[in-house]
Structure 1
């Protein structure tokens, strides 16, 4: 019989990298939502399905963490390592409730280990090891505000209303802050038109769109936690967090695998240039390919400049083909930015209406260090 593992007891070999790191943070007294792990052995024994005994174990474990909505997330042995994040390559399910829904989410997490995008990602990373996967089940934090934090010499934060999924997916352009020497040195208002609560996406109230979603005091508290986590784990961290009421929760921490572009970069003003957020450093030129969804994927050719509203994990194979990425929405810690940096691709984010401003085949230069996209030959 498979025995589930209390999150506080998780180790990388049995519970994958994501759960093992959360266990270390929980043991250190940091605010981690309660949960448990379905270990790698359950996946290896299951042959794709879940036994009645495992469902019974899940039922009993749910009683321990209390009734309510849950987050069911992959914790594969090949993700959240010092060399590759595997950001978004395996599935996460939010707003899950009850043993049957948890069991279904576990099956789908297992299956995502062998999705086309996950296999292609491991191939590009040169990972020849046979991966295995655990599944992390935690109480879902009904966040008022959530986001990401990137620790280092300066701490960079991005946040929006509701669950952090809207930030990491790039569906909004989040508010952002830079903290240096304990002081907030930069604040920027994003474009927060929608928010995600559990499984529902809804419009943000107009008044909330036009104000920062964090106070300076909340930013300072987050930065203090971020530094504590970085010290504990021995290096800069990419941290997901949520605030519910006045309480901060840490949802994930993984090593920084690639540096962000320098803060406060100012793009040169040119009539031919479009300006956005520097997302991944570097310079590339090529023809634009405006992609509005998976149906357009076959049109993408090697060396194209990918122009789109945003990306999600299903788009990851395109990052092995294109020369650069340009998006209408998103922040430094969105899927598009993280994968572009890992692949060494220049990326510029959050250029409003860029999918209509640039027509298919336009020749452009993308400067991911300054956030500038310049039309060439016109």
Structure 2
């Protein structure tokens, strides 16, 4: 059901409010914990209507996020391609953020993404305004393992706002939960955290003991997994869920279909989670190990890229190596043979887009920029999470 007019309460959002808002409305109507909010279906909406809707929410900060008509759908996630503005408080700032998010559908990176995936030129971007959850821990959950389609929950978690996980700013904890019972935890190096500040999010260092301390307690893992399974049940397909914890309470911030094939890529290990020993590379040629994030193998010259000023150095067939990526880097994924990042996790935007583009990716590869030599030929195995030295073509 949709509401006539330009401002729609989140619980009443329908398809014309975009994929993100429509899905959250389903969760709200099912009684699941979703922050309150509303949808602005067009940037030309009367400002008085937006201010009135804002007054019905709790005082800020707010999260302003795109909810594009082609976003968060079964065909494409648009992970990180459209704008999000976190931590705005003043109504004038909210209105400016709405205009910014609405315009992001026409940004070059969004157009390049649609072109790569063969999508139509659908640029209408409704905008979702919600109360911002001041998370002490947050992250992303997949109800299937994206590496091999295994029927198990995979959780990436970090301290503070979930933007640290989705943007790949940290190496998050990775927690795997099996339906038949049992869980496995891999600790991540969570060096920084993002928290709401008076003028927007503030990034700070995480104290040494907490960097390698798992974010979720044993008593929290199964309840979070249960929320993921409930989302999958409601939508009838595997889900990509963003979540947060504030004062001991879980919140759901997004639920969208997993857009990448849930099966091993040709030539990858039969079980990307537990590859057999003979498939591991020769230790003498092994240069970097990270998180296996997008299956398949690729061979090519290393191209070290430390900033947007060096984008022009990347040529078709290069192996892109960088500290992390943000949406501005997406056009490089169109030409790179593989992607290697020093930070990030399996469920970060970079990993999701690499899987959608069908290119191997290894993220969370600590020291990649210092251990790999520009121009050296390497093999990237996105199923094993390895980068190995190889001979250059003669």
State the TM-score bracket (shorter-chain normalisation): over 0.9
Equivalent residues of 1:149, 1:158 under 8 A apart: yes
Task: Give 1:2 shift.
Answer: 4.8
Name the counterpart of 1:362. 376
TM-score (norm 1): 0.94
Name the counterpart of 1:272. 285
Pick from 308, 312, 319 the counterpart of residue 322 of structure 2: 308
TM-score (norm 2): 0.90
Pick from 85, 89, 94 the counterpart of residue 86 of structure 2: 94
Question: Is 1:61 aligned with 2:53?
Answer: yes
Name the counterpart of 1:80. 72
Question: Is 1:243 aligned with 2:240?
Answer: no
Task: Give 1:209 shift.
Answer: 1.1
Name the counterpart of 2:12. 9
Task: Give 1:260 shift.
Answer: 7.8
Equivalent residues of 1:184, 1:216 under 8 A apart: no
Structure 2 CA distance for aligned equivalents of residues 210 and 87 of structure 1: 27
Structure 1 CA distance for aligned equivalents of residues 263 and 309 of structure 2: 31
Within-5 A mapping of 1:1-378:
2-13=5-16, 15-39=17-41, 42-43=42-43, 46=44, 54-152=46-144, 153-198=151-196, 199-258=201-260, 259=262, 262-265=272-275, 267-268=280-281, 270-273=283-286, 274-377=288-391
Evaluate the alpha carbon distance shift between residue 260 and residue 194 of structure 1 in structure 2; reply closer, same or farther with a 3 A threshold. farther
Task: Give 1:265 shift.
Answer: 3.9
Q: Deviations over 1:207-226 (max 9, x none)?
A: 21131110122111100010
Equivalent residues of 2:285, 2:388 under 8 A apart: yes
Task: Give 1:327 shift.
Answer: 0.8
Structure 2 CA distance for aligned equivalents of residues 265 and 276 of structure 1: 14
Worse-matched range after superposition: 182-191 or 231-240: 182-191
Worse-matched range after superposition: 120-129 or 3-12: 120-129
Task: Give 1:324 shift.
Answer: 0.3
Q: What is the aligned residue count?
A: 367
Contiguous gaps of at least 5 residues in structure 2: 145-150, 265-271
